[in-house]
Amino acid sequence: MSQSIEVLLTPAEFRELGARDVRQTTCVVFDVLRATSSMVTALAHGATSIHPAADIPEALRLREQIPDALLAGERDGLRITAGLTGGVEFDLGNSPREFTRNRVLGRPIIMSTTNGTRALRACRGAQEVLVASLLNLGAVAAVLHRWQPADLLLICAGTVEQASFEDTVAAGALCDLLWPCYGRGDVADSAALARELYLRHADNVGPAIASHARNARRLLARPELAADVAFCLRRDVFHLAPRMASDGAVRWVA
């Protein structure tokens, strides 16, 4: 059976998933800087679930349904504050360094970010949805090797409305890990492009992202967020592949 692999590079592409039949598709979502890195970190540190919200009002509605949940999220890179919500301070921002065991152990988390949570929500009709970052790349690859999905779609959350260097490189790294299975199948040009970008920088991924990625430069320019870049660019720190369930919540898959 032929296997296909494709990478969506921009938010405009993942927004179109609603018009596409993805019921037999496995989706993998990347938002390396920083939403998926924060989700992976939170679950590795004992959070029970992540509930992606498309926007702030939805996050607040979910909080009414899950009163013990922590609210997490950002706008313009910074934690959502009462001025944006009409009075409710979010407990956490979108820095993975905030999601420590002391803060998140045993707690569900409702999260709303600029791009990452929207990308996840766009995949809700898919057969399977996995959450990926550099922090857990090997674990995601291992799950996909076991599953061998016939139709694999890698979603890059992007930066604002544009493609992002860091998500494209990370998607390319996953393509490279899966190339023995998918390289002879139906390979979209976008997957080949992402893999070639990764291979060009394979020996220098962290510095390349720090130098070329718009989002990395923005974070590095803010002293309170600069350390997030180095945190997120570590590879295979956590051995879990979070999976989005039919109820929309993201939970740990070993």
Q: What is the total count of domains within the chain?
A: 1
- Is 215 inside a domain boundary? yes
pLDDT of residue 155: 98
Pairing of strands 70-75, 78-79: antiparallel
Helices marked H in 66-115: 82-85, 101-104
E strands, 138-246, are: 151-156, 186-187, 243-244
Q: Specify the CATH number for the domain of residue 41.
A: 3.90.1560.10
pLDDT of residue 92: 98
Q: How far apart are CA 91 and CA 82, in angstroms?
A: 11
pTM, whole model, 2 decimals?
Answer: 0.96
DSSP tally for the chain: helices H, then strands E: 12, 11
Q: What is the pLDDT of residues 73-121, one digit of tens each?
A: 999 899 999 999 999 999 999 999 999 999 999 999 999 999 999 999 9
pLDDT of residue 252: 87
pLDDT of residue 1: 59
- Is 253 inside a domain boundary? no
- The radius of gyration of the chain from alpha carbons, rounded to an integer in Å, stands at 17
- Is 125 inside a domain boundary? yes
Q: What is the pLDDT of residues 155-169, one digit of tens each?
A: 999 999 999 999 999
Q: For 168-171, which contacts have Cβ atoms below 8 Å and span 24 or more sequence positions?
A: 168/7, 168/9, 168/193, 168/194, 168/197, 169/194, 169/197, 169/198, 169/201, 169/205, 169/208, 169/209, 170/30, 170/32, 170/132, 170/133, 170/134, 170/137, 170/198, 171/7, 171/28, 171/30, 171/198
Which candidate, 105, 77, 121, 104, places its Cα nearest to that of 250?
121
- Is 71 inside a domain boundary? yes
Q: Report the SS3 class of residue 248.
A: coil
Per the structure, the complete domain to which residue 177 belongs is given by 4-246
Ranges in the chain, pLDDT < 70: 1, 254
- Is 176 inside a domain boundary? yes
- Is 251 inside a domain boundary? no
Burial of 198 (0-12, 13-18, 19+ CB in 10 A): buried
- Is 254 inside a domain boundary? no
Any idea which residue has 């509605």 for tokens? Answer: 61
CB 31 within 8 A of CB 119: yes
Sign of the four-CA dihedral 228, 232, 234, 236? positive
Tokens of 191: 């997957």
Number of residues that make up the chain: 254
